Copies of this chain bind each other. A is one copy, B any other.
Amino acid sequence: MAEVRNKYVVKKNHIDGVPNESDFSICEELLSLKLHSHVSNNVVIVKNLYVSIDPYQINRMKPHSSSHIIASTASVVLPGQAIEAGGVGRVVESWHPDFKTGDFVSGLLHWGEYSVVEGGQQLQKLDTTVAIWLLQEANICKAKVFEAVVAFTHLQKFFASHKLLKQVGSSGITAYGGFFQVCKPKKGEKVFVSAASGSVGILVGQYAKLSGCYVVGCAGTKEKVDLLKEKLGFDDAFNYKEEPNLNLALQRYFPEGIDIYFDNVGGEMLEAAVENLKSFGRIAICGVISEYTGTQKRAKLDMVGVIYKRIRIEGFLCVDFVDIYPEFISTTMQHLQTGKLKAIEDISYGVENIPTAFIDLFHGNNIGKKVVKIAQE
């Protein structure tokens, strides 16, 4: 096989607001599997099986990145370029000594049928038995956890040399690190999670319950609210769309105030949370989906309250949690196995459906971790 047909998603233009179908197109190319340059560049060609769909990707589709931002996950994707995303796939050709045809891999792939990856640094090899089992289960969230266990020895070496964690099980470590490292919860504290039925929020709420906290989540539909309360063990949950005044809503759910706010949305909800935070309250800024699509929605925070209540507001990225990765894996594995922690996925099928899956995130149409299945194997 010297070449394959590869369909992949590109953005047609820079995106400066809520993304639309018209912002994307599906390209088709003949992908050469045998190029001289592949040898010197240690290229690995991967057939994609699953790709991840995450809100943060919108930040790479804007006309420009924020100033002084050095995180690699913030560099701008140009129109016509393949769009990077976390994923799981199988090697079809490799000029890299660590990978061979047939290997299952996870890492930073592309929104497409195939990914051409140079240097191999953004790939981790998966144990074949585990990978096949996982793919049969079609359970990508558990896969993210298991893959990390399997690839752990490899990762340790990788972390040591690069001091960087790429896209491996990012929702899990984001939730774990953001909650435990940034929020520093204590038993009995009151925790509020926004976008609580999203990939990260679902895990944060469950980690908080496992830590003995009182947890309230908000989401945008009755179905999601029911899921949080009935299946995921949240103490309470509400539909923010039915609340004309978020400040009053939070007063109702937290009459004594909030200790920890895990923010996935920003904007008015962040403002209301600051109003309702207790003294020494903490806010982990994980995502601000309401602000990703327009700076006019930026939160106007009550800084007088921030001072008098000694509030700490902190942004973070999962790449900073390398040190607690072993702890994350062992704790999370244990809770998944005993059923104390539940993983929820939202799966679409086929490259053609990637743009819709992505756009849906900004309309709250997903429940749990959004992934697109590209191929069976």
Give chain A's interface residues, CB within 8 Å of chain B. Answer: 59, 66-71, 73-74, 251, 257, 266, 270, 275-279, 285-288, 291-292, 295, 298-317, 320
A308 partner residues in chain B, CB cutoff 8 A: 59, 66, 69, 71, 73-74, 315, 317
In angstroms, how far is the closest chain B Cβ from the Cβ of A318? 11
**Do residues B299 and A68 form an inter-chain contact, with CB atoms below 8 A?**
no
A292 to B300, CA, bound (A): 14
Once A292-B304, A301-B301, A303-B298 are accepted as A-B contacts, the answer to whether A312 and B309 lie under 8 Å apart by CB is no
A300 to B314, CA, bound (A): 16
13 pairs, A vs B, C-beta closer than 8 Å: A66-B308, A67-B276, A71-B279, A266-B303, A291-B304, A295-B302, A298-B300, A298-B302, A306-B313, A307-B317, A310-B314, A310-B315, A311-B315
User: Which of A301, A302, A314 has the most chain B CB atoms closer than 10 A to its own CB?
Assistant: A301
In angstroms, how far is the closest chain B Cβ from the Cβ of A99? 30
A266 partner residues in chain B, CB cutoff 8 A: 303
In angstroms, how far is the closest chain B Cβ from the Cβ of A344? 23
A69 partner residues in chain B, CB cutoff 8 A: 279, 305, 308-309
Shortest Cβ distance from A247 into B: residue: B67
**Do residues B309 and A279 form an inter-chain contact, with CB atoms below 8 A?**
no
A73 partner residues in chain B, CB cutoff 8 A: 308
**Do residues A278 and B59 form an inter-chain contact, with CB atoms below 8 A?**
no
Shortest Cβ distance from A312 into B: residue: B314
A71 to B279, CA, bound (A): 9
A314 partner residues in chain B, CB cutoff 8 A: 306, 310-313
A67 partner residues in chain B, CB cutoff 8 A: 251, 275-276, 305
In angstroms, how far is the closest chain B Cβ from the Cβ of A277? 7
Shortest beta-carbon contacts, A-B, top 4: A306-B315, A307-B315, A298-B300, A288-B303
A101 to B361, CA, bound (A): 72
**Do residues A68 and B278 form an inter-chain contact, with CB atoms below 8 A?**
yes
Partner of A286, one of B66, B288, B291, B307: B307
A303 partner residues in chain B, CB cutoff 8 A: 266, 270, 285, 288, 291, 298-299, 315
**Do residues A320 and B313 form an inter-chain contact, with CB atoms below 8 A?**
no
Once A312-B312, A313-B313, A314-B311 are accepted as A-B contacts, the answer to whether A66 and B305 lie under 8 Å apart by CB is yes
**Do residues A312 and B313 form an inter-chain contact, with CB atoms below 8 A?**
yes
In angstroms, how far is the closest chain B Cβ from the Cβ of A203? 18
A312 partner residues in chain B, CB cutoff 8 A: 312-315
Once A66-B302, A68-B278, A70-B279 are accepted as A-B contacts, the answer to whether A316 and B307 lie under 8 Å apart by CB is yes
User: Which of A73, A277, A303 has the most chain B CB atoms closer than 10 A to its own CB?
Assistant: A303
A99 to B312, CA, bound (A): 40
A316 to B69, CA, bound (A): 27
A300 partner residues in chain B, CB cutoff 8 A: 298-300
In angstroms, how far is the closest chain B Cβ from the Cβ of A92? 34
A68 partner residues in chain B, CB cutoff 8 A: 257, 275-279, 305, 309
Shortest Cβ distance from A283 into B: residue: B313
Shortest Cβ distance from A279 into B: residue: B70
A310 partner residues in chain B, CB cutoff 8 A: 314-317, 320
A82 to B93, CA, bound (A): 82
A68 to B256, CA, bound (A): 8
In angstroms, how far is the closest chain B Cβ from the Cβ of A358? 17
A307 to B71, CA, bound (A): 10
Q: List 8 additional A-B contacts (Cβ < 8 Å) besides A68-B279, A68-B305.
A: A67-B305, A69-B309, A74-B308, A287-B307, A288-B304, A291-B304, A298-B303, A311-B315
